[in-house]
Chains A and B, each alone.
Chain A
Amino acid sequence: MVKYNFQYEGSNLLPNKARKLGWFILLPVLLFGIFVMYWNFEIPGFEVIIPYSDTLFSSEPAPNNLTDELAAILFLVALILIAFSEERDEDEFVSKIRLESLQWSVYINYGLLAMAILFIYDSDFFQVLIYNMYTILIFFILRFNYVLRVKFNSNQVEVHEK
């Protein structure tokens, strides 16, 4: 195994192993999230009393089940682990691709949000906002991995060059 030593000072990335953990928990967390979002699944008794429940008619302390909060945060954590872990061969080129991909995903994400603002309203728009919390990371992960592993992965090229 090649040992890479081109380290960046002040790199804020997570260790390489974190990405494996991220992928490992992604599917269960995603399924959990889907159950919560579309079937209103709640872990029984997993509640806190929140100081006020600001509904139309009352503004009083009320119980709140934390299952949806848990699902939302776990999904966020899984995506962050996948998105911002070091590559095994992290170097300046990877760094450049990462930054470019991040910019690209911000453009795409807010481009789509702008369309949604124009064309989608009310509770449907609320759904869009929920997806939009994650799409920026999802677009980034897709783009970064595509560029790094598909576009610039020319393993075949070198065999013939010496």
Chain B
Amino acid sequence: MKNNLKVQRAILNITQSELAEKTGVSRQTINTIESGKYVPSTVLALKLAKVFRANVEEIFLLEPGD
């Protein structure tokens, strides 16, 4: 699964810590999601989408093989 969290974050001009705070997780979690090491739960994906006022599909994308 790919994501463009970093891009979305740049658009809003917020840091990983700020995003973490807004979604109630640790900064490490945001970091590992961005680097593709961790796939967030549906709840967290929805929370992230809410912060960016986007649909989940605009942030998280399936890759071939998923």
CB under 8 Å from chain B, chain A span 47-86: none
Q: In the bound complex, do residue A4 and residue B31 qualify as a contact, i.e. CB atoms below 8 Å apart?
A: no
- Indicate the size class of the contact surface on chain B: 20 to 34
Q: How far is the CB of A139 from chain B (nearest CB, A)?
A: 22
What separation, in Å, do the CA atoms of A32 and B31 have in the docked complex?
42
Residues from chain A with a CB closer than 8 A to the CB of B27 are 158
In the complex, whether A5 has a CB less than 8 A from a CB of chain B is: yes
Interface of B is mostly: helix
Binds B, one of A87-95, A117-125, A130-138: A87-95
Chain A residues with CB under 8 Å of B41's CB are 92
Which of B9-17, B49-57, B58-66 interfaces with chain A?
B9-17
A-B contact pairs, 19 of them (CB 8 A): A2-B21, A5-B24, A6-B23, A6-B24, A6-B25, A89-B26, A91-B25, A91-B29, A92-B41, A93-B32, A94-B26, A96-B38, A152-B31, A152-B32, A154-B31, A158-B17, A158-B27, A161-B6, A162-B15
Given contacts A4-B26, A92-B40, A152-B32, 10 further A-B contacts (CB under 8 A): A89-B26, A92-B29, A93-B26, A93-B32, A94-B29, A152-B31, A154-B28, A157-B31, A158-B31, A162-B13
